């Protein structure tokens, strides 16, 4: 690593992660795998806030949903966090730990599972992964979404 690359990395780490930096997540994303239809929708960043929703269907029946937002934890601004409320539960906050280009990592080491939420975009594919410890084992789950027109459904 050159000195200038190291200095640039250090500056990026000390700068707060903002919702505007995550605009690459915006849009409607669809996964049609293993008989499941999973859609995830993210608004564009406005006023430091992004809103997200996710629906999971199996056999045409709703099996899960999530309401999310990406915003600063404090009204004063600063680093954003990912707030996720699964199936109507109160939202849990995961602080942004790193963001570069089209990848972001959120973390909450005190949460039962997951402790990390990772999003990464490559072209028209958005990959999402959750990682952490459950009991005495490392666990992870991942989703691979394709960009789609709003409200597109999986083929039946």
**Would you say residue 5 lies in a domain?**
no
Which residue has 């039962």 as its token pair?
Answer: 112
d(CA 83, CA 93): 4
**Would you say residue 64 lies in a domain?**
yes
**Would you say residue 113 lies in a domain?**
yes
Which residue has 């990464």 as its token pair?
Answer: 120
Q: What pLDDT score was predicted for residue 150? A: 98
Q: How many CB atoms lie within 10 A of CB 96?
A: 24
**Would you say residue 6 lies in a domain?**
no
pLDDT band at 2, cuts 50/70/90? Answer: low
Q: What pLDDT score was predicted for residue 74? A: 82
**Would you say residue 155 lies in a domain?**
no
Range of the domain at 62: 17-148
- Which of 32-59 are b and which e, b meaning 16 or more Cβ less than 10 Å from the residue's Cβ? beeeebbbbbbbebeeeebebebebbee
Distance of CA 77 to the CA centre of its chain: 19
The pLDDT of 71-86, averaged and rounded, is 91
**Would you say residue 106 lies in a domain?**
yes
**Would you say residue 142 lies in a domain?**
yes
pLDDT band at 14, cuts 50/70/90? Answer: low
pTM of the predicted model, to two decimals? 0.88
**Would you say residue 154 lies in a domain?**
no
The CATH number of the domain holding residue 112 is: 2.40.128.20
Nearest in space to 117 (alpha carbons), one of 63, 62, 70, 58: 70
Q: What is the pLDDT of residues 38-69, one digit of tens each?
A: 999 999 999 999 999 999 999 999 999 999 99
Number of separate domains in the chain: 1
């Amino acid at each position: 690593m050159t000195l200038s690359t190291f200095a640039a990395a250090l500056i990026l780490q000390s700068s707060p992660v903002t919702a505007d930096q995550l605009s690459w997540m915006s849009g409607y994303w669809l996964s049609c795998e293993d008989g499941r239809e999973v859609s995830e929708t993210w608004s564009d960043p406005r006023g430091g806030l992004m809103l997200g929703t996710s629906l999971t269907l199996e056999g045409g029946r709703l099996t899960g949903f999530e309401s999310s937002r990406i915003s600063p934890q404090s009204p004063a601004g600063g680093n954003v966090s990912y707030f996720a409320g699964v199936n109507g539960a109160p939202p849990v906050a995961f602080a942004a730990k790193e963001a570069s280009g089209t990848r972001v990592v959120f973390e909450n080491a005190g949460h039962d599972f997951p402790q990390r939420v990772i999003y990464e975009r490559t072209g028209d594919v958005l990959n999402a992964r959750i990682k952490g410890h459950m009991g005495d084992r490392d666990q992870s789950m991942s989703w691979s979404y394709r960009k789609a027109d709003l409200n597109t459904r999986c083929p039946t």
